[in-house]
Amino acid sequence: MLVIRPITAADFAALKQIAIESGHGFTSLPVHDGRLSQKIEHAEKSFNAVVTTPGDQGYLFVLEDTDSGEIVGTTGIEAAVGLQTPLYHFQQNTVIHHSAELNVMNQLTTLTLCNDYTGASEICTLFLRESYRRNHAGRFLSKVRFLFMAEHPQRFASKVIAEMRGAADKDGQPPFWNWLQKLFLTIDFPKADQLIGVGKKAFIAELMPRHPIYVGLLPESAQAVIGQVHENTKPALRMLEKEGFSHRGYIDLFDAGPTVEAPLNQIKSVAASKKVPVKIAADTTSAQGEHTLAVANTAIKDFRASFSKAARFDEAANILIISPELAAVLQLSNGEMARFIYLDKA
């Protein structure tokens, strides 16, 4: 069985291995011992903190295979981005140049450096090892964050964002990066990626263009990928779009991938989740349901979530019937509350 739980210091080696496997462009998990240890420590403090409004908290979860004890994935939420370190984007805008005398009107797209998402919550750091990318595991890793947010809304902002990885060429380099590197930054992409990953973002404000950039002046290769996602990220984007996320014109500074957003209370899995008492069945067979459910307890530092068909919702009785095995993994007893969603419904 796969179970989500808060990360602990004992997971450092596994988190570092995931950081290595994730590769360049996954800036939220740099291959940097100090930064990874800091993220784990920050997450532990966040899960233990008493919170009434979102602030500088970061909730990092790991996905554990209970049979082997192996950590096979991560997923995370930042409660309020940009409060300690600015979060920059390019915003796409349209400007109109009009000459009445010549009867000419041109609509031109510009990119402007901004930090408009300051204070928003961000879902991030989702990675699943390739051998486990099956049987709803990836979908669960994404949606489990919404179960946690639905249960503890006071910890999060009313707006939720997700930065999607941008398009890359056959060598893994983002075409959008080339013009930035040539004109403004003069460092290579892995170096910039590494600096951002360890929290050194001052160079963005110091070196990035301060005035709006006319997109039509960029190389065609850069123009073509604005707002486009990496091939491997397309399934994640489609999933978020089904949750109600949309692109409002904000893109990543370096790979031009889109940032999507949604109001927290309008995210489909948040709105559709149900919080009900549990009843532990005598055996797995009597708890067997038609659908796969993602089920979570209502704790914070002892949060647990898993997915299984050994759980079914009795609508008439308004209870969730779960198997003894699932109850043990989720640390739930008879009568305690759980929150769930249907994982296999569109």
| Span 28-57, average pLDDT | 93
The DSSP annotation for 112-141 comes to EEE-TTTT-EEEEEEEE-GGG--TTHHHHH
Question: Among the listed ranges 9-13, 29-33, 293-297, which one has the minimum average pLDDT value?
Answer: 29-33
pLDDT above 70: residue 312: yes
Question: Most confidently modeled of 95-109, 145-159, 228-242?
Answer: 145-159
pLDDT above 90: residue 55: yes
pLDDT tens for each residue of 195-209: 766 666 667 777 788
Q: Please name every residue paired with 124 in a beta bridge, in sequence order, or none if there are none.
A: 76
Catalytic residues: 230
Nearest-angstrom CA–CA distance, 278 and 321: 6
pLDDT at 174: 85
Global pTM?
A: 0.91
| Span 2-24, average pLDDT | 92
pLDDT above 80: residue 156: yes
CB 91 within 8 A of CB 64: no
Output the CA torsion 28→33→35→41 (10° steps): 100
Longest dimension (CA), the chain: 83
- What contacts 24+ positions apart, CB below 8 Å, involve 105-110? 108/214, 108/215, 108/216, 109/214, 109/215, 109/216, 110/212, 110/213, 110/214, 110/215
Q: To which H or E segment does residue 74 belong?
A: strand 71-78
pLDDT tens for each residue of 113-126: 999 999 999 999 99
Q: Per the structure block, which two tokens stand in for 175?
A: 């075409």
| Span 42-64, average pLDDT | 97
Q: Per the structure block, which two tokens stand in for 54?
A: 């979102």
Cβ neighbours of 170 (radius 10 Å): 5
pLDDT at 11: 97
pLDDT at 346: 59
